[in-house]
Every structure is written in C-alpha cells, then in structure tokens.
Structure 1
Amino acid sequence: MAGRIEDYALIGDGRTAALVGRDGSIDWLCMPRFDASALFAGLLGTDEHGFWKLAPAAAGAQHSWRYRSGSLVLETTHKTHEGEVRVTDFMPVGDGSHVIRLVEGVRGRMAMRMELAVRFDYGSAVPWVSRSELGDLRAISGPHKVVLRTNAPMRGSARQTTISEFTVYKGDAVRFVLSYGASHEDDPAPIEPRRYLADTNRFWRDWSSRCTLETPWDDILRRSLLTLKALIYEPTGGIVAAPTTSLPEDLGGVRNWDYRFCWLRDSTFTLLALMDSGYIDEARAWRDWLTRAVAGNPEQAHILYGIAGERLLPEIELDWLPGYENSRPVRVGNA
C-alpha cells in the first residue's frame, strides 16, 4: 500500500514530476507531461496499480533522506550494522522522458532489491514486457513504452513485476534508468547517468542561487521556490496547482479533484512569490502563456486551463482505483 502523502518527496524535470516515498517506492509518475496518464498510480490505490521500489532487501535498516543543497536531486541513505548505501533519485531536466536511480556503496555491504510494476493508464493496463537485443527491459501498452536499463540482473515474477536482487559493496555503483517513448518509435537512446546527474544538479543549483532575498529562513525559502519551479511546465510557462490528482480535501470525502491544471488565481500567488524573489523570467513566460490561453472573446475566459492553454478538459472517474486512503471518486480532467 502507498504511504502517507507527507512521506513523499518530489523530483521533477520541468515537464512532469514523480513522488518518491521514504520506503524507496515511486508511487506516482505521469510521462511525458504532468497531465499524461500515470504509469505508477499506487498512490491512489495499491501495488497492483503501479510502483517502482528500490530499497534494502532485509527489514530493519535505518533510513534518512535529504535533497542536495539548492537542488531537486534526492539522496536516501540506508544503514545497517553491515553496511551503508546511498540511493540518488532525479529526473534530467529537459524532456520528461527519464527517471534515474543510482545506488552507491558507502560502507561494508548491503543486499538490495528492486521491484518494478509498470501499469499504464492509471493502473488499468498491464503491459507486454520483453527484452531487447541488448538485454534492456521493454514494457509496451497501446501508445506507451518504457525501457529500463541497468547493470544489475533482472527477472520476472509471478506478480507480473520485474525484480532485481543484488549486493552492493563499498565503492560499487548500480544504475537504473527508466526512459519513456512512443511505442511505435525506436527505443529511447541510452543516456549516461553520471553526466546527467551533474547537469541536473548544476541546473537546479544555478537557478536557486539567483534568489535575491536575504532572510534568516533562506534555506526554507529556496526549498519552497524549488518546489514552485518544479510545478512550471517549461515549454509553455503554465503552472500546475499540483502534480497529482484526487488527493482528497477530506479523507474519505468526495472532493477529490485533478490539480494538474493551471488556475489563474493560484498561478498569480505563485508568480508573486517568484517575482518577490527575483525570478522575473518565469513571470514573463506565464504572462505569455496567459495571453495565448485567454485569447479571443473575453466572455469565454475560464478559471483554469491546461498546461498548454487547453480549454476542453473532460472529466472522468476511474472506478478501478480505490483512491487515496479510500477517498473516492478518483477523477482525471477537470470540468
């Protein structure tokens, strides 16, 4: 089962975002955009609806996590009396197509376990899984495809998941790269995780260092600004209210809306925070998005739009998902 929402950290790339739990499980991810259908929807259901867990194989390890300073690169440390490993999770800034997870041995040794359950279309579609000529794992369903590349062994399981079990010693490095693409196209090209890690960390640090405010709470302020930046859809400048859908206003209630859209009022508050901190480029990009979104008859203006300025946002209910802490209905779209 998914954890509590307060036990998740956000990673993103300016196109979409993932939620990573303290237990090492990614339980929410839409690709290649915030408003695309989820391939991990365990947050709103169970493991049957998609997840990607990477954690120590045995129970009892001590866990701690942190973001790298000024960055959206997340580091989780697992410790036992036998060893210590660090897991680094991030999404390369650019195209909404990759999630990278790096496991590094810090001390001694530790047995690790990875389990991947891709479930496209919000947990409703079990994909066809195969191996490429190079041994990469390929999962396809309808228009969607993801490819998992790793230097660790993989095998299938009776749960229709992919499992990797391996031991990490001090100095070892194990990589997992999940890449999204269209099912009718060639597999996404391989990428070099270390180079993308350096580029991604540099991007976020350079951006957060431009904050012009000087307060006793600078670290907290910059962390909040990084979260707001991660909610901006970079190609258009649109700002989503949240990267998720159907997290309830009241547990067990029915006020469960899809927030992966752009409310004019909410975006205004976000822009005030960014401009007060010296981030004018984001304000200009949003102004341009707004001009395009509301173009035409003023009487037809909406209170919310899609991330590219879409006006028609049909709303449906996903009856196969039990909802966050059994809060139904689960909705996608916003009417």
Structure 2
Amino acid sequence: MKQNLDLAPVGNCSVSALIDRCGRYVWACAPRVDGDPVFSALMDGDDPEHGFWEVCLADLKDVEQAYIKNTPVLRTVLTDTNGSAVEIIDFAPRHHKHHRTYRPVAFGRIIRPISGAPRICVRLRPSADWGARRAEATSGSNHIRYHCTDLTLRLTTDCPVSHILEERTFRLETPLAFFLGPDEGYDQEVGPGVAATLDRTVVYWKDWVRTLYIPLDFQDAVIRAAITLKLCAYEETGAIVAAMTTSVPEFPESGRNWDYRFCWIRDAYYTVRALNRLGAVDILENYLVYLRNLVDNSAGGHIQPVYGVGLEADLSERIVDSVEGYRGMKPVRVGNQAHEHLQHDVYGQIVLPLVQSFYDQRLIRPGSVEDFCALEAVGDRAYALHDQPDAGLWEFRTIARVHTYSSVMCWAACDRLAKAADALGLADRAEVWSQRADTIRARVEAEAYIPEEGRFGASFGGRELDASLLQLVDLGFLDPMDPRQVATFNAIERDLKKGPYLFRYVEPDDFGEPETAFNFCTFWFIEALHLNGRTAEAREIFEQMLSRRTHAGLLSEDIALGTDELWGNYPQTYSLVGIINCAVLLSRSWTDVR
C-alpha cells in the first residue's frame, strides 16, 4: 500500500493517531506526541511488518470514511464483493468525569457488522525501539499487553483474544469493542463501557464546537481545522505542537525531513491567534500558562524558538535508521536542531498573546502588574536584539542575517508592551516602550527599505524577498495601502508566486532551491490580495486551496507544483491556521442572511 498523507487524525489533547483510508492506524506516539511511535508504519516503507492496527475484511471491494459531524471521531465502512459490510468507529476518549477532563493515553475502537456475513481479521502490531521491532505481547483471558519502548499498552476487549494473537479470520456476528490504553484493569464490562465512553466523547466535542464563533461561509472547513488544532494541543502543559509527525519530506528526496512534534513559539502564536478569532478561549488560556512558565524559566535571558511539550529545552537532533522513512525517503529525524538557533522573532511571539491577558475579561486568570513586570524582561531582549543577525523564521541552518520579519516582531513586542502599560495605568513604562518601538521602527525603515524599488527587503541591506514581508500589515507595522507595502506585495507576487501558490522564498538555502510551495504563505497571499482590493482573486485561490485538502479536511506543510500533491509534516498547524484566517476574512457577514 503506497504511503500518502490522506490520513485522518483522532485524539484527545493527550495522545493522537493518524488513520488511513482503510481504517488502519499508521502513526501514533505515546505516552506523548513527541515520544517513541507505538504505530510507526507511516515511517516504514510501503509494506511494514509491524507498527499498525488494521481490520482486514475478506474480499474487500469498497471503503467509505468520514468523521462523525463536529467531532474527531472517525467512522470507516468496509464492504466486500458480496455486499457484506462492517463499521469501524475510532476515537480517543475525552469527556468530563469526576469534575475533570478524562483524556487517557488510550484509543477506543468499535467494530460492528452492518450487513451480510462479513469475515474479518484484526491485526494489532504495535512497534518498539523506534519501529525497530514488533512490541512483545503477553496475554490474559480478556486482555493483551504490548510492551512498547516507554510504556506498556493494554488491550482490553470482548473479542476472543486468540483471534487477535493468531490473526485469525472470523465471521463478525456481534459488535466488538477494543480499549487500548494504560496497563491497568478495565473496571467495567468492556462493550457497554467503550460504547458509553464513545457517546460521551461525541457529546464533548459537539458541545465544544457549539462554543465557537464561526463565519457564515466555509463552516465545515473552519470547524475541522479548529478541532484538529485543538488536537495539536498537549493539554497537560498547554503546549501546542507544529504537527503530529516527523520526517515527512518537504519534497521528494530533499533531505528536508524535520521533526515537528514540538512547540514552536511562532507556530503556537499563530495557532492561538486563529482560534481566538473563533472564541476558543480554553486553548488560549492554557497556552498562556505554558508561556508564563517559559518566561519564568528564562529569567530574562535567552528564549529558544522551540521547546518540548513538557517545557524541555534540550531537543537534541538525531537520525534513526530503524525505519525506512516516508516512502523510503530518509533521513528520519528525532529532535530538532532549531532549539539551538537564535530566532529573535520569538520575543514578539511571546509578548503578543500574553498582552491579551491584560485586556480580556473572559479569562479566569487575567494578567497582573506582576505579570507585566516579568514580561518586560522579554521586551528588553526584543529591544536589545532587534538589529542582530539570526536564523530567521525559516530557520536557516547556515545563513545568519538581520531579518526584517524578526526586527518587526521585536518592534511589535515593544509596541504592545507600551499599550499594555497604558491599559494598566503605568504611564512611565508606556513611554519607555513607546520610545523603544519608535527606535526599532526607524531602524527597520532605514535598513530594510530599498528606495530605488520602493519596497522592503527580507533582511537589512538585502534585496532578497520572502513571504514573511506580507506580515508587516498583519502586525500593524504598515497600512495595506502604504505605497511601500504595495510595492513589496507586487514584488512578492512577481517573484514568489508560482501558479496559485506562494513560495516562502526562491533563493537557494542550506539544502538548495525549494521545490514546493509553503501552504501558510499561500494563505498569507490570499489575505494580502483581499486587503489590496482583489477579493475575487483571493476567493478563487482560497477555493483552490480548500480543494487540495485531504478527505479529512486537512493540509500538510507543503504542496507540489503541477501534481498538487501534499508534502511535509501533517497535519500542519500553520496550514490549518491559514484556513481559519482566510475563511473569516472572506466570508459573508451573518447580517447577509437577515
């Protein structure tokens, strides 16, 4: 079976898995999203011997798959050549229990016959040691223990255990329930217990979606993006990961295979900002806790661009040879060297979401003067580093420049601190931060502006372009109709737009010339088109981007020209943020249906 990214995630903000079109688990890490994969088939060629969980229907003819509406609960229907069919329901439990949210490191699965006399085989083969071997199994009368690398998973089921251990084909005559989770006893009848957990999980997600403020148009796309962004949150600490996977290449044989299962300050900033537009304050609040801990831990010093979901600073990068890689394309990386980088935009991306806490009266814990004083240390770093070289938001490994985007983010940090100080009645501090913001603005306008072209460059003194210059409007640094911004937009459209898509940049980097477009940048371009009065064009490209989504309604990081094939890690939070932002911007108003 050829690997592709047409996968559907299930999860509960504690653990997640990716399931293919036939209902096969092909990727899941436990006990955390950045842990050792217990299902590793996605990274192990086209015919792996283990690392999956599948239900094989004899004489399979047809497959249908879709989510239960407004949930991450997945329904797959397999039909054989005689018309016999089975239904597979997959989910990760999440619901209220004992006055808290129940979200175990566990997956639930129910298999039901829905017509005829289907014959199935359940093949459950977790992996261990980063896919190097099949997890050892021991069994009891109603359970099987799988001894993976960092934990032991226990399958409790009302299916005959020997059917699973022997991978026996049998007739499915009654519903079967499976609970794959912690190595502890299941204290209730498994069939009714899993069914009740499923029902409560469906109710939880439908209730959560009901709290969202969504646009009139593109509702299905926005809801699916919002649910999946929530699945990328590690609720225990408030971290938000950039993607659920590692090492899906940006394009074939590129070597651009990165581990995205960590919390980038930049990605998380864009994520909470998009969800805030929908009113999803729960994710914002939890992420602010994560940020405040990072600020405290830094003690006014260096802040990395990326951390582990448990606030870990050391994400040492290594290459594993135990799996073949996505479509056999190595390397497979664990960890990310970006934790060593200097990326000065992170100071702005910490300040901007935290400043909201000084204004937002919905928050259970609003920002205090003490919080502001702690945040000023981050602003001090932004001011000190606004004109210093860094790796930039695209994380160049061997190229250091004073990147315009990083400098403008440092300006935004000072600008927002001035506004926050004013809101808190700290007039003297407001004056200090306002003056600092003015100083940075003057430096950017002097060093990044190219007078003979009337536009900005991507670095101080440089002429190169990158798509991040479109963010000068979003950050409030320039008005969209400022002639300098219009000229910058025109240059970006001329040089970075390929077909309907936008590249981050086109100049060679550490790995040569890019060959795929970056989906988030295309969404930035759509926003810029709209702000430049070209809304019809913006809507046309947005519709094209929506058509490129997987059947699960999601996008990865990159897209190939010509074939429109998705590449890069999946599902990518940046890309889902783009869907939400553009949908909100381009939708008709609710007043249009009065």
Normalized against structure 1, the TM-score is what? Answer: 0.90
**Offset, 1:195:** 1.1
Code of the aligned partner of 2:59 = A
The residue that corresponds to 2:131 in the other structure is: 123
Deviations 1:26-67 (A, max 9, x none): 0111112111111111100042341111131223x2111110
Q: Partners of 2:123 and 2:246 in 1: how far apart?
A: 24
- From the superposition, tell whether residues 195 and 2 of structure 1 become closer, same or farther in structure 2 (CA, over 3 Å): farther
The residue that corresponds to 2:305 in the other structure is: 303
**Offset, 1:156:** 8.0
Q: Which moved more, 1:121-130 or 1:260-269?
A: 121-130
The residue that corresponds to 2:529 in the other structure is: none
Q: Which moved more, 1:306-315 or 1:77-86?
A: 77-86
Deviations 1:65-115 (A, max 9, x none): 110111010001122333222110111123442111111122222111111
- From the superposition, tell whether residues 212 and 42 of structure 1 become closer, same or farther in structure 2 (CA, over 3 Å): same
Equivalent positions of 1:61-140 (< 5 A) are 61-80=61-80, 81-93=82-94, 94-132=102-140, 134-140=141-147
**Offset, 1:141:** 4.6
- From the superposition, tell whether residues 96 and 316 of structure 1 become closer, same or farther in structure 2 (CA, over 3 Å): farther
CA contact under 8 A between 1:2 and 1:43: conserved in structure 2?
Answer: no
2:155 corresponds to which of 135, 148, 154:
148
The residue that corresponds to 1:243 in the other structure is: 244
Q: Partners of 1:254 and 1:206 in 2: how far apart?
A: 43
CA contact under 8 A between 2:128 and 2:135: conserved in structure 1?
Answer: yes
- From the superposition, tell whether residues 30 and 142 of structure 1 become closer, same or farther in structure 2 (CA, over 3 Å): closer
**Offset, 1:206:** 0.8
Q: Partners of 1:63 and 1:224 in 2: how far apart?
A: 24
The residue that corresponds to 1:11 in the other structure is: 10
By percentage of residues, which structure has more strand? 1
CA contact under 8 A between 1:57 and 1:111: conserved in structure 2?
Answer: yes
- From the superposition, tell whether residues 213 and 82 of structure 1 become closer, same or farther in structure 2 (CA, over 3 Å): closer
**Offset, 1:331:** 0.7
Q: Partners of 2:26 and 2:233 in 1: how far apart?
A: 21
- From the superposition, tell whether residues 175 and 188 of structure 1 become closer, same or farther in structure 2 (CA, over 3 Å): closer
CA contact under 8 A between 1:33 and 1:96: conserved in structure 2?
Answer: no
CA contact under 8 A between 2:128 and 2:134: conserved in structure 1?
Answer: yes
Q: Partners of 1:141 and 1:220 in 2: how far apart?
A: 36
- From the superposition, tell whether residues 11 and 273 of structure 1 become closer, same or farther in structure 2 (CA, over 3 Å): same
The residue that corresponds to 1:29 in the other structure is: 28
1:315 paired to 2:322: no
**Offset, 1:187:** 5.2
Equivalent positions of 1:208-227 (< 5 A) are 208-227=209-228
**Offset, 1:283:** 1.0
Q: Partners of 1:28 and 1:188 in 2: how far apart?
A: 25
Structure 1 stretches of 5 or more lacking a match?
none
Code of the aligned partner of 1:42 = A
Deviations 1:265-285 (A, max 9, x none): 111111111000011221121
Q: Partners of 1:180 and 1:318 in 2: how far apart?
A: 27
Deviations 1:294-323 (A, max 9, x none): 323333100011112111112211112111
**Offset, 1:164:** 4.2
Larger Rg: 2
- From the superposition, tell whether residues 299 and 162 of structure 1 become closer, same or farther in structure 2 (CA, over 3 Å): farther
- From the superposition, tell whether residues 207 and 199 of structure 1 become closer, same or farther in structure 2 (CA, over 3 Å): same
Q: Partners of 1:303 and 1:137 in 2: how far apart?
A: 41
Code of the aligned partner of 2:302 = Q
- From the superposition, tell whether residues 300 and 187 of structure 1 become closer, same or farther in structure 2 (CA, over 3 Å): farther
The residue that corresponds to 2:477 in the other structure is: none
Q: Secondary structure at the match of 2:171?
A: strand
Q: Partners of 1:215 and 1:205 in 2: how far apart?
A: 18
**Offset, 1:131:** 1.5
Deviations 1:235-283 (A, max 9, x none): 1111000111111111222111111101111111111110000112211
**Offset, 1:152:** 2.3
Q: Partners of 2:300 and 2:329 in 1: how far apart?
A: 37
Q: Partners of 1:271 and 1:127 in 2: how far apart?
A: 37
Q: Secondary structure at the match of 2:216?
A: coil
- From the superposition, tell whether residues 165 and 294 of structure 1 become closer, same or farther in structure 2 (CA, over 3 Å): farther
Q: Secondary structure at the match of 2:156?
A: strand
CA contact under 8 A between 2:246 and 2:259: conserved in structure 1?
Answer: yes
Q: Partners of 1:164 and 1:138 in 2: how far apart?
A: 18
- From the superposition, tell whether residues 318 and 187 of structure 1 become closer, same or farther in structure 2 (CA, over 3 Å): farther
- From the superposition, tell whether residues 144 and 164 of structure 1 become closer, same or farther in structure 2 (CA, over 3 Å): farther
Q: Secondary structure at the match of 2:116?
A: strand
1:167 paired to 2:176: no
The residue that corresponds to 1:264 in the other structure is: 265
- From the superposition, tell whether residues 142 and 65 of structure 1 become closer, same or farther in structure 2 (CA, over 3 Å): closer
Higher RCO (CA < 8 A, seq sep 6+): 1
By percentage of residues, which structure has more helix? 2
Q: Partners of 2:321 and 2:44 in 1: how far apart?
A: 11
